[in-house]
Structure 1
Amino acid sequence: MRPHSGIRVTTLVLAGLAMTVVAWLVLRWLSSGGSPVPEPGWIGAAAMVFLGGGLLLAGWQVRKVRDGRPDPAITPLRAARTLVLGQAGALTGAVLVGWYAANALVLLPDGDVDSQRSRIWLFVLHAVVALLLATAGMVVQAWCRLRPRDDEDDEDAGAAPR
């Protein structure tokens, strides 16, 4: 049986693209009715930076234990939870990239107006921070991956092909 490889980059790209298309359609529909595009808040960017940093810290602790340094605070359950949080952070970051990109795309036709141009750059900045969150999630997933043991390699080499 092949072990689960985790969240793939293609999954993140598809989730981000799907969110971009759906959000762009909804935002265009709402803006055609006179509703403004929502304002991006700095709290959202700060929260994504905080979450990414926390993910990297937790993943680093699991990585140290995986590489042989004993730490009684890192249990197998905590390592599994860190892995799941890393995967959730990666998916959340990918979807948020799509959301912020869709907002920027809706504002793009008015990019020659200074006030709209500054909003577009703010959405682009938020999309970059969301991309960093997704990247942190993927790094944590890689750090939580167990390396194959030598005895498992020997068993695989001696097994008959299927």
Structure 2
Amino acid sequence: MKPINPLRLMLIGLVLAVAGWAATAITNRFSMATPVLPATALATMAVIVAITLVLGIRVLRWRNSNRDSSKKKTALDPILAARTLVLAQACAYAGTVLLGWHTGIFLDQLRVWSLRSDQGITLLALAMASGGLAMIVVGLLVERFCKIPPEDGETPPGEGQPGRGARGEAAGEGEYAYRGD
């Protein structure tokens, strides 16, 4: 599995910021409701972040406990580690979507900030964008937790040989904690 490309995340966020801004402009033009998530979505985002972080810390503890080769290595369920990695990446991508969309809404609402008596939608869009940013940070952090450092005496994939590593991964890609050794 490939690590997340931060440039791809920025591009997705930028595209969705433009889309959020355009959707807000269109809905305001036709006197429709602003397309922002309800405040209860913040609780859902917090639960997703907490679950991702707890599972990531579990993988990190396993990884750190197995650094000392004199200790008996405990087995980590490879399915749990793979699911944790997928959850972390999904959390980062979902956070990017939420951050981009609500940033576009926030920027559109910001230009009429002083004209409105109720700034609730603007503050809600800012809160949703902040929640999206938290999801991105936790997703990238947990993805990093799932990365296995090279073992002693083992050459990292792609070093010393051009092209592909020992297991078929491309040069520059890291191994994750779910490898089946």
Q: Give the TM-score, by structure 2 length.
A: 0.76
- Structure having greater relative contact order (Cα 8 Å, sep ≥ 6): 1
CA shift in 2, pair 1:29/1:75, >3 Å: same
**Distance of aligned partners of 1:156 and 1:20 in 2 relative to their CA distance in 1, 3 Å threshold:** closer
The aligned runs of 1:1-150 (5 Å cut-off) are 5-68=2-65, 74-112=76-114, 113-115=116-118, 117-150=119-152
Which amino acid letter does the alignment assign opposite residue 143 of structure 1?
Answer: F
Structure 1 outlier segments of 4+, above 2 Å: 68-72, 153-157, 159-162
State the secondary structure of the residue aligned to 1:21.
helix
Q: Which structure 2 segments of 5+ residues have no match?
A: 67-72, 164-181
Amino acid aligned to 1:110 = V
CA distance in 1, matches of 2:42, 2:162: 51
Q: Which runs of 5+ in 1 are unaligned?
A: none
Amino acid of the residue matched to residue 76 of structure 1? P
Aligned residue pairs, count: 156
What is the Cα deviation at residue 5 of structure 1?
Answer: 4.8
Percent identity over the alignment? 27
Distance, in Å, in 2 between the alignment partners of 1:50 and 1:33 is 35
Whose helix fraction is larger, Structure 1's or Structure 2's? 1
Structure 1 length normalisation: TM-score? 0.84
